[in-house]
Amino acid sequence: MISAQDISKAADLLLSGALVAFPTETVYGLGALATDDRAVARIYDAKGRPTFNPLISHVPDVEAAFALGEFSADALKLAARFWPGPLTLVVPRWSTCTVSLLASAGLPSLAIRVPQHAIALELLRAVGKPVVAPSANPSGRISPTTAQHVRDGLGDKVSLVLDGGACTVGVESTVVSFLEGKATLLRPGGLAREAIEEALGYKLAEGLANVMHSPGQMESHYAPHAAMRLNAEVAINGEAYLGFGKFGREYNLSSSGDVVEAAANLFRMLHELDALKPERIAVAPIPMIGLGEAINDRLKRAAAPR
Ligand code: TXA
Ligand code: MG
């Protein structure tokens, strides 16, 4: 049984930047405070994700969801009908949205969900801020539907696992995007397509199961306005410089050479440098260890010819 103390302990851990696994009706989620870049970076580190897949922001009610992104009439219809429940809606994020840019992988959109699970909802209310949570399994492994699955897969990488028994739905939420006007199915999941189409009164368009598999789309999304030069140890000809470790002072992803800290800073600092409108942004070499691989993947896309 989960007590009120367990919930407040879990909420405190999340607010302090730690990772907490919690049950939802679909699968167990690996939770982190969505507004905390470092905490979000820890998720990718714990899962061993090769890329920064965008994450779902979990909130306790529709009002909290409206504060994060812009809901079209159709998006509103689905939210009203199916939340709380196994449905994730992808909408444009407000410019005032406080969710870490790393959590939406630098995209101008945000995936949002209100889960239907008493423990998840209590936890989200106690935290009072959005919580990002991918399925609580190591990357490429089967999604966890019991607390034991989480402990087996992630073990000491998570500060606390809230045990809420077995998940009732057992597959991830259905993901529907509203970025192209009409609703597009990005991932089939715990809520049947037919139920969604019935509520909308039209058929869902087919989208890409995972935006990361659409390199063209991702390249343009990740790219700053400025050109990019990678593996640069110094700036030349008035380039803006994004440093790492011993290279670079003012904008340094991590002066201590910590790739988790670097991941947390990556998208925010790229945005900040781009806002200076330099012709080119030069980036220090980032080692290919741990999250360094994902950072280099994103930088390579950002530097791709366009
Ligand atoms: O049931 C679920 O959804 C579980 C529980 C814990 O809530 N979470 C989950 O998260 O499955 P994850 O990270 O394993 O899957 C998130 C999915 C991915 O397919 C991702 O590409 C998509 O949502 N997604 C997230 N943000 C997106 C965005 N801005 N645009 C398009 N797709 C997005
Ligand atoms: Mg997953």
pLDDT tens digits, residue range 197-247?
999 999 999 886 444 433 334 444 457 889 999 999 999 998 999 999 999
CATH 3.90.870.10 describes domain 4-213: yes
| Mean pLDDT (whole number) for 109-131 | 98
Tell whether the model's pLDDT for residue 96 goes beyond 80.
yes
Tell whether the model's pLDDT for residue 75 goes beyond 60.
yes
Atom 21 in ligand 1: residue holding the nearest Cα:
210
Q: Cα(257) to centroid of ligand 1, in Å?
A: 29
Tokens 């219809």 found at: 77
**Cβ neighbours around 75 below 10 Å, total:** 22
Ligand 1: residue of 123, 172, 185 to mutate (most ligand atoms within 8 A of CB) is 172
Which stretch of 6-15, 114-123, 221-230 has the lowest confidence by average pLDDT?
221-230
> Which ligand neighbours the alpha carbon of 105 most closely?
1
At 121, is the pLDDT very low, low, confident or very high (cuts 50, 70, 90)?
A: very high
For CATH 3.40.50.11030, list the domain ranges present in the chain: 227-303
Closest ligand 1 atom to Cα of 169: 1
> Which ligand neighbours the alpha carbon of 143 most closely?
2
Per-residue model confidence (pLDDT) at position 80? 98
Q: Cα(184) to centroid of ligand 1, in Å?
A: 14
Per-residue model confidence (pLDDT) at position 21? 98
Per-residue model confidence (pLDDT) at position 222? 58
Which stretch of 145-149, 164-168, 262-266 has the lowest confidence by average pLDDT?
262-266
| Mean pLDDT (whole number) for 245-253 | 96
Average per-residue pLDDT in the chain?
A: 91
Per-residue model confidence (pLDDT) at position 64? 98
Pocket lined around ligand 1, Cβ cut-off 6 Å: 24, 26-27, 29, 53-56, 88, 90, 104, 107, 109-111, 113, 115, 133-135, 172-173, 175, 177, 186-187, 210-211
Q: Cα(256) to centroid of ligand 1, in Å?
A: 31
Q: Give the model confidence (pLDDT) of 152-202 as tens digits.
A: 999 999 999 999 999 998 889 999 999 987 899 998 888 988 899 999 999
For CATH 3.90.870.10, list the domain ranges present in the chain: 4-213
Closest ligand 1 atom to Cα of 113: 7
Closest ligand 1 atom to Cα of 104: 29
Whole-prediction pTM: 0.86
CATH of domain 227-303: 3.40.50.11030
